[in-house]
Amino acid sequence: MLELANIRKAFNQGQHNEYWALKGIDLEIPPARVNVLKGPSGSGKTTLLTILGCLARPTEGRVRLKGEDISGLPERFLTEIRRSTFGFIFQQFNLVRGLSAIENIILPGYPTGTPRARLVERAEALLADMQLSHRRDAKVEWLSGGEQQRVAICRALINDPEILVADEPTANLDSKLSAEFLAILRRLAEAGRTVILTSHDPLVVESEVVDRVYSLRDGQLIEVVDTRRAWP
């Protein structure tokens, strides 16, 4: 699905505080599996996630999505790919305050030019799937943490992406909600979606939902462990 070859990423390039967050990463993400990037803070896992999710371009190295090299693409095209192929769930949920749940969910559909009626229809189906239909028109700041999380999942799914990317998704959830979240992820993976998340939460890393764990330290990949299923 996604392949990285010798990925390096620098910040403050050419200045005295130049810093390499990733120092040559090679990895391959299989389709329809739940993948976890694990590591202490500062290990480069979030930077790696931004490159995997086409949010940023690597300074050096190649990124291949379904065999196509996308590492040299300008932001304009990277965004197009990101919009259609990736859905994002963030640590702080990052919902737009002041807008209702449904309005937040359809936001990623705006630049595609899909008619509003169709977007709303899709969003309603997703809300129903997450048992949130009754909160459809509630402003997001009135929602509980768990509800916000589920609205964020709906938003990530509105453009029907193949890959779901989540950054520390359980950091703001208690154990019960985390377990519910993991169950949702499993459902999505079983439906054929690829899931990539970062976490240092043992509840996630050791969960039976997870298929593969990538361990990072100091910008390098030190270990890849397949945890659950047998690989085809």
Partner 1 sequence: MNRWIEKQRHLIDFTASSLARRKGKSLGLLVVYTLLVFVLASVSLYTHALRNEATRVLAGTPEVVLQRLIAGRHDLIPPGYIEKIGRVRGVQKIEGRLWGYYYDSVLKANYTFMVPSDRRIAEGEIVVGPALERSRGLAEGNGISFRAYSGELHTFIVSEVLAHESELVNADLVLMSEADFRRFFAYPDGHYTDIALWVANPQEVRNVGLKLINALPDSRPILREEVLRTYASIFDWREGMMLALLSAAILAFGIFAWEKAAGLSAEEKREIGILKAIGWETGDVIAMKFWEGFLVSLLAFLLGYVAAYVHVFHFEFALFAPVLQGWAVLYPSFALTPKIDGLQVATLFVFSVLPYTAATLVPIWRAATTDPDTVMRS
Partner 2 sequence: MIFQPAIIALLLAAGLSLAMLATASPFAVQLIRHWDLGSGSERQLRLERLTYLFSMMVALVCGLQILSTLLFVFNADKMSVMFVGAMCAVGALNANAYGFPALYAQLALFFFASTWLAINRLDNQARDYPLTRLKYVLLLAYAPLAALVLYLQFNYFIRLEADVITSCCGSMFSEEADTVASEVSAMAPRQAIALFYAGLGTAVLLALWHWRGAGRRVWSGLAVGASSVVAFFAALMGIVAFVSLYIYEHPHHHCPFCILKPEYDYQGYLLYVPLFAAAAAGLAAGVLTLFARRPSLATLAPQASARLAGIAAAGFALFLAVASFMVLSSNLILLE
Which stretches of the chain bind partner 2, using CB under 8 A? 9-14, 57-60, 71-77
Binding mask 167-206 for partner 1 (x = CB under 8 A): x---------------------------------------
C-beta closer to partner 1: residue 56 or 179 = 56
H-assigned helices in the chain: 45-52, 75-85, 101-106, 116-129, 145-157, 175-190, 202-205
CA nearest to 72, candidates 58, 53, 51: 58
Q: Distance between CA atoms of 47 and 195, rounded to whole angstroms? A: 17
* Of 28-36, 113-121, 173-181, 217-225: span binding partner 1 (CB under 8 A): 113-121
* Residue 113 binding: pick among partner 1, partner 2, none (C-beta 5-8 Å cut-off by kind): partner 1
CA nearest to 23, candidates 202, 206, 217: 217
The answer to whether 227 contacts partner 1 (rule: CB under 8 A) is no
The tally of CA atoms less than 13 A away on the side-chain side of residue 48 is 36
Phi, psi for 69 (deg, rounded to 5): -75, 120
**Binding residues for partner 1 (CB under 8 A):** 46, 49-50, 55-56, 75-76, 79-80, 82-83, 86, 88, 90-92, 94-99, 103, 107-116, 155-156, 159, 167
